[in-house]
Amino acid sequence: MLTRRLKKEIQMIQEEELTNCNAYPVNDNLLKWEGYIIGPEGTPYEGGKFYLNIEFTDKYPYKAPNVYFTTPIYHCNINSQGGICLDILKYNWSPALNVIKLLMSISSLLSEPNPDDPLVTSIASEYKENKEEHDKKAKEYTLKHAME
């Protein structure tokens, strides 16, 4: 069942022709994928290409995959190890969700950080208290780490 589900998701991704994100198995291993998100327009991440690792367990689709950024990013909901604080990766996962919806949710997090539920409190404080400085640092990180 897991194999069939993941193959169906690959087909959905290919048919969707996504423009701002993508995901695919690494070395034909259905349980280990690489994905990326293009930084949304109008954000300090604009134009950056941020890579992710997506690892599925035998509990998928009933348990969220393990997802983390491999591209460094300056964000209050993403730590230096690439860990992501996002409700659907924790307690709000549902088997109705899929990789496309997951990528869209992470992209939304880049557009709309949640400083009230941060993984990095110092960045969250800066976001709330000095957004201009926050955005400047986030843009510098993007230019340094996410431009190809």
Residue 114 sits in a domain whose CATH number is: 3.10.110.10
Overall number of domains in the chain: 1
Residue 13, classified by CB atoms within 10 Å of its CB into exposed (0-12), middle (13-18) or buried (19+), is buried
Query: What pLDDT was estimated at residue 17?
Result: 83
Record the pTM: 0.95
Q: Averaged over 109-114, what is the pLDDT?
A: 97
- 71-82 burial, b at 16+ Cβ within 10 Å, e below that, comes to bebbbbbbbeeb
Domain carrying residue 15 = 2-145
d(CA 128, CA 148): 30
Query: Which residues have a catalytic role annotated?
Result: 85
Q: Identify the DSSP state of 63.
A: S
pLDDT tens column, 72-99: 999 999 999 999 999 999 999 999 999 9
Query: What pLDDT was estimated at residue 1?
Result: 80
Q: How confident is the model at residue 43 (pLDDT cuts 50, 70, 90)?
A: very high
